[in-house]
Amino acid sequence: MQIYNVIIIGSGPAGYTAAIYTARANLDPLVLCGYQPGGQLTLTSEVENFPGFPDGIVGPSLIEKMQKQAEKFGAALVYKDSTGVDFSHKPFKVMAEEEEYYGRSVVIATGSSVKMLDVPGEKQYMGRGVSTCATCDAAFFKNKRVAVVGGGDSALEESLFISRFACVVYLIHRRDKLRGSKIMQERVLKNEKIQCIWNSVVVRINGDRIVNGIEIKNMIDNSISVKELEGVFVAIGHQPNTGVIKQYISVDDHGYIIADASGKTNIPGIFAAGDVKDHKYRQAITAAGSGCIAALEVEQYLSNVADAG
């Protein structure tokens, strides 16, 4: 039975950075990339805020470069989804369909998934007017009209940030009052660029190669109205990808892995990195930094285990 020094579950910026660092440390990591590697960066068109790319880079290209760098240093990549784990004893076991892999340590970098509207046009115009990240994409909508869908703190933060660039921000919420913190509500309601559309949901995103409008349904009288605009930001929440893991690893009330700043979880030898433990920042660069930290901690952990043995 082959036992890997480290198994990395996930192939976004956190997973690939952990792979690069552990591979360069001669730990011969195994990376379970999944069938669709890359995480949320694959849903992003132009990335302008990742250091080292002054002209920007499209999300899938950035992920491809990370992948090649990990492979260059000797990381083994398996393009299967993790379907189960057993962290009850060592070596730790990670399942991927019919295969079982064993590791002395594990880095969980499975990320989080954006909750989507699931309406016509949403997938079609993703990256062409539809976005899930204001920090990433707001600057592309300077002096344009955009909509933000949601009513919690994430939606309020997105609306305020986008208002620095857009001429009008329509904040669309299915209820008659916002759910975010009081101070955030006050800031939004005082912002002259933000117009709240209450008791409403988006039922269709229209476009012609790029977004040019949305159809909105009023929840009170079921009437349909149309707003002409250039961008739609979906901000109805994220779901951490901890489905097969949380029976062993401690998670918070929202499902995010509880880990300290070094990525250590409640089980020695199991580390977490990236958006699966970060519900606040959710940036490619913070995920990459988190993957670096977890990798350095893995190296130290394995060294200590070897010394103890």
pLDDT band for position 291 (cuts 50, 70, 90): very high
29 and 172: one domain?
no
Please tell me which residue in 33, 137, 196, 275 is annotated as part of the active site: 137
* Confidence at residue 37, expressed as pLDDT on a 0 to 100 scale: 79
pLDDT higher than threshold 80 for residue 208: yes
With b meaning 16 or more CB within 10 Å and e meaning fewer, what string describes 46-75?
bbeebeeeeeebbbbebbbebbebbbebeb
Taking only the tens place, the pLDDT of each residue in 247-267 is 999 999 999 999 999 999 999
DSSP state of 32: E
Last residue of a domain, one of 215, 234, 253: 234
**pTM of the full structure:** 0.80
Total residue count of the chain as it appears in this document:
309
Mean pLDDT of the chain: 94
35 and 104: one domain?
yes
| CA pair distance 286, 296, nearest whole angstrom | 15
203 and 151: one domain?
yes
pLDDT higher than threshold 70 for residue 241: yes
Q: Distance between the two ends of the chain, CA-based, in angstroms?
A: 20
Please tell me which residue in 33, 133, 196, 292 is annotated as part of the active site: 133
108 and 123: one domain?
no
| CA pair distance 78, 273, nearest whole angstrom | 19
245 and 109: one domain?
yes
109 and 124: one domain?
no
For residue 102, CA distances in Å to 29, 90, 99, 105, 145 come to 11, 8, 10, 9, 51
Q: Is 133 a catalytic residue?
A: yes
95 and 59: one domain?
yes
**CA 306, 291, 286: angle at the middle one, nearest 5?**
150
Q: Is 292 a catalytic residue?
A: no
pLDDT band for position 180 (cuts 50, 70, 90): confident
Backbone angles phi, psi at 168, to 5 degrees: -145, 135
* Across 144-167, average pLDDT: 95
Q: Spell out the alpha helix ranges (H) of 100-237.
A: 134-137, 153-162, 182-190
Taking only the tens place, the pLDDT of each residue in 58-75 is 888 999 999 999 999 999
92 and 162: one domain?
no
| Number of domains composing the chain | 2
* Confidence at residue 280, expressed as pLDDT on a 0 to 100 scale: 83
107 and 214: one domain?
no
Question: What is the extent of the structural domain holding 126?
Answer: 116-234
183 and 227: one domain?
yes
244 and 188: one domain?
no
Estimate the crossing angle of helix 13-24 against helix 59-72, to 10 degrees.
Answer: 20
* Confidence at residue 309, expressed as pLDDT on a 0 to 100 scale: 58
Taking only the tens place, the pLDDT of each residue in 169-178 is 999 999 999 9
* Across 156-164, average pLDDT: 95
228 and 284: one domain?
no
Last residue of a domain, one of 206, 234, 262: 234
Q: What is the CATH number of the domain that holds 272?
A: 3.50.50.60
Last residue of a domain, one of 234, 249, 284: 234
Please tell me which residue in 33, 136, 196, 292 is annotated as part of the active site: 136
